[in-house]
Amino acid sequence: MQLKWWKILCIIFMFLTFTAGFLIPVPIIGNLHQSIRNFFFHVPMWFGQMGLLTLSLAYSIAYLRTQNLKYDIYASEFAKTGIIFGILGLATGSIWAKYTWGEFWSNDPKQIAAAIAVLIYLAYIVLRGSMTDFDKRARVSSVYNIFAYFIYIPLIMILPRLVQSLHPGGMEGAKGGGNPALGGDSLDATMRLIFWPAVFGWLLLGIWISSLKIRLSLLVNKNLIHE
């Protein structure tokens, strides 16, 4: 087993997230109190999900260009890990919401958009399951994956900015709009120092998980793939 540099980086970042993330002093903002530490877990989930789904899109395009089944396996495994990150993001978000907004689920536009995003990609898995022919499955699901991604981006990036939201950065947010994920200056310098490593740490962890599943899937389908 080889330990590549990015895997070492991932371990360091995750270690940093789980130690310093719980230990550093944090600014007390509103009713967030210590729960602001969820910033190191909840928000990176969405960065991770976006990153993994973008990789999935890239491999779907690569499949359509080359017709190499290998890329289809890459795309599907990245999408599956993306779904897991989405579900984890919803879960961490709901727990956070319970202690700051009072409810696990309060029909916030971003909660709805995130739930729909998970549904869209679950439909991708269902679509894959509905076909038995490998080439057809790869082609049709790549087309759906590309289409879904371009619907998903406006859903998650534009819609929440148009409506009122409990999340920071909604239409009537603190500064009258902005990035839906990051509430402007709510992070202080030390938090930022942990936050960005946490984002890349979780993303790398997602890629690591997917790469293990891809290796397994490539071995299972060994006789289908010709180099």
Partner 1 sequence: MSKIITLLKKDFLLELRQQHTFFGILLYVASTIFVLYLAMGQPESTVYNGLFWMIQLFVCVNAVAKSFMQESHGRMLYFYSIVSPIQFIISKIIYSTVIMLLMVLLSLVLFRILLGNPVMNELQFIGIACLGGLSLSLVFTLMSAIAAKANQNAAIMAILGFPLIIPQLLLLIRLSKSAYGEVFREGAILQISLLLTGLDLLVIVLSIVLFPFLWRD
The footprint of partner 1 on residues 157-196 (CB under 8 A) is: 158-159, 162-163
Q: If we measure between CA atoms, which residue out of 127, 119, 161 comes closest to residue 144? A: 127
Output the smallest distance, CB 168 to partner 1, in A: 19
Determine if 155 is a binding residue for partner 1 (CB under 8 A). Answer: yes
Q: Which of these segments, 78-86, 144-152, 192-200, 218-226, binds partner 1 (CB under 8 A)?
A: 144-152
Burial tier of 85 (Cβ tally within 10 Å: 0-12, 13-18, 19+): buried
Burial tier of 223 (Cβ tally within 10 Å: 0-12, 13-18, 19+): exposed
Determine if 106 is a binding residue for partner 1 (CB under 8 A). Answer: no
Handedness of CA 54, 18, 194, 156 (dihedral sign): positive
Helices of type H across the chain:
5-23, 42-66, 69-100, 109-129, 134-157, 159-162, 189-220
Nearer to partner 1, 172 or 185 (CB): 172
Residues 6+ apart with CB under 8 A from 57: 75, 145, 146, 149
Q: Which of these segments, 29-37, 76-84, 87-95, 150-158, binds partner 1 (CB under 8 A)?
A: 150-158
At residue 132, what are phi and psi to the nearest 5 degrees?
-105, -25
Q: Which of these segments, 96-104, 155-163, 195-203, 212-220, binds partner 1 (CB under 8 A)?
A: 155-163
Give how many residues touch partner 1 by CB under 8 A: 29
Nearer to partner 1, 14 or 112 (CB): 112
Q: Which of 8, 12, 119, 220 binds partner 1 (CB under 8 A)?
A: 119
Both tokens assigned to 87: 């579900």
**Which residues are at the interface with partner 1 (CB under 8 A)?**
64, 112-113, 116, 119-120, 122-123, 126-127, 130-131, 136, 139-140, 142-144, 146-148, 150-151, 154-155, 158-159, 162-163
